[in-house]
Amino acid sequence: MEEIQSEVITWKKDENEKEEAEAQVEIWKYIFGFADQAVVKCAIELGIAEAIEKHGKPMSLLELSSTLGCNPSYLNRIMRFLIHRKIFKTISTNHENYPYYVQTPLSLTSSTTGDLKTNLRILHDWGDEECIQILKKCKEAIPNDNGRVIIVEAVIEEGGNHKYKDVGLVLDMVMMAHTNYGKERTLKEWEYVIKMAGFKGCTVKSINAVQCVILAFC
The DSSP result for 118-167, as a single string, is EEES-GGGS-HHHHHHHHHHHHHTS-TTT-EEEEEEEEE-SSS--TTHHH
Other Cβ atoms closer than 10 A to 83: 15
User: Mean pLDDT over residues 197-218, rounded?
Assistant: 84
Of 66, 89, 108, which residue is a domain's last? 108
- 3-class secondary-structure state, position 203: strand
Residue 195 has pLDDT above 80, yes or no: yes
Other Cβ atoms closer than 10 A to 109: 19
Domain count, the chain: 2
Which residues neighbour 123 within 8 Å (Cβ) at sequence distance 6 or greater?
A: 131, 134, 135, 151, 153, 193
The DSSP result for 38-66, as a single string, is HHHHHHHHHTHHHHHHHH-S-EEHHHHHH
| Spatial separation of the C-alpha atoms in residues 79 and 65, rounded to whole Å | 11
User: Which residue numbers are catalytic?
Assistant: 124
Domain extent, residue 81, equals 34-108
Segment among 65-69, 104-108, 119-123, 191-195 with least mean pLDDT: 119-123
Of 61, 85, 108, which residue is a domain's last? 108
Which residues neighbour 46 within 8 Å (Cβ) at sequence distance 6 or greater?
A: 68, 70, 78
pTM for the model stands at 0.50
User: Mean pLDDT over residues 124-138, rounded?
Assistant: 87
Which CATH number does the domain housing residue 58 bear?
Answer: 1.10.10.10
Looking at the fold, whether 142 and 65 belong to one and the same domain comes out as no
